[in-house]
Amino acid sequence: MTIQGARAVGIANIAADGTVLDTWYPQPQLAQPRRTGTRRLGANDLTPRLLNLVYLDEDRMVEQVAVETSIADLSQPVTDAHDAYLRLHLLSHRLVVPGSISVEGLVDALAQVVWTNKGPCLPDNFEFVRTTLRARGLIHVYGVERIPRMLDYVVPSGVHIAEAERVRLGAYLTEGTVVLREGFVSFNAGTYGPDHIEGRLTSGVTVGEGSVMALGSSAISPAVNDVRPIMYIGRNCRVGENTSVIGVSVGDNCELAPGLVITPSTLVRFGDSEPRPLGPVLEPNWVLSHTVGGIFVSATRP
């Protein structure tokens, strides 16, 4: 039977006005719950380790509570912030792959949060909170945004991430992946094998085994109705320095020279053929090199 849902116990940070700032699920699992929703848990429902994390942080004006979240059908849109965080955890724990679950409404379900070394805070009262928190020492603010850093919630096995800021929660990284300081991987994006990422992967982009996203490169899946459809860079590909691939999936064993901008409307000459728009897919085993009169000169890979 196909597993369609998920369930997890976690710790949520809830602001004084009821805003869900985040939810951490240490051991999410695929399951088949009958209903979608989140309930608070009592002391009898928790292990001693999780129970120690339940408390009122008066300095941050935040309560840490234990919750259990269930999603009956992962193909349905996101319902709330707890639901959104569980889907992000499923991706980063490698329980589901990008594109296999719905992320419709995910970003809108999340609040803007001030991410600090003391925990998440509301932006509206943060300067007041900062003054109180300084009694605990220096405050580091990592950013103000909706989706946090993956490594604060999940550390996948066998990956190298040079800078925590460069990978969002919800990234799917296979063992052997290297993300260097100039690389970036968004949520619902990632790698399917040992890859070298020194470029940017937007939400919706996946990279096949053995590929290289060189320094300054980017792979961008344009949003359609606020959702970025899955776009892929195939196996054993190289996307050259400062090359942008926008809305084009790339087949296996392709090489894109440095400094190119590739879209479905880009004119390409394959061999001796007349120039034509590339379209949404670049077939395997092609090299896109320099331009002559704005037209890419291409050749098969030897």
| DSSP letter assigned to residue 190 | E
CA–CA gap between residue 257 and residue 268 (Å, rounded): 14
Cβ neighbours of residue 166 closer than 8 Å, sequence gap 6 or more: 179, 181, 182, 183, 184, 185
**Out of 165, 175, 182, 198, which one is annotated catalytic?**
198
Q: Provide the token pair at 129.
A: 């909170």
Q: Collect all residues with Cβ–Cβ distance below 8 Å to 292 and sequence separation of at least 6.
A: none
Alpha-carbon 192 to chain mean position: 14
Cβ(299)–Cβ(267) under 8 Å? no
Say how far apart CA 79 and CA 59 lie, in whole Å.
30
Residue with tokens 């724990």: 93
- Beta-bridge partner residues of 196: 178, 212
HEC per residue, 26-79: CCCEEECCCCCEEEECCHHHCCHHHHCCCEEECCCCEEEEEEEEEECCCCCCCC
Q: 165 an active-site residue?
A: no
Distance CA 188, CA 165 (A): 16
Q: Which residue type does 277 have?
A: P
User: What is the four-CA torsion angle of 168, 170, 171, 176, rounded to 10 degrees?
Assistant: 110
Give phi and psi for 238, each to the nearest 5: -130, 120
- Catalytic residues, which ones? 198
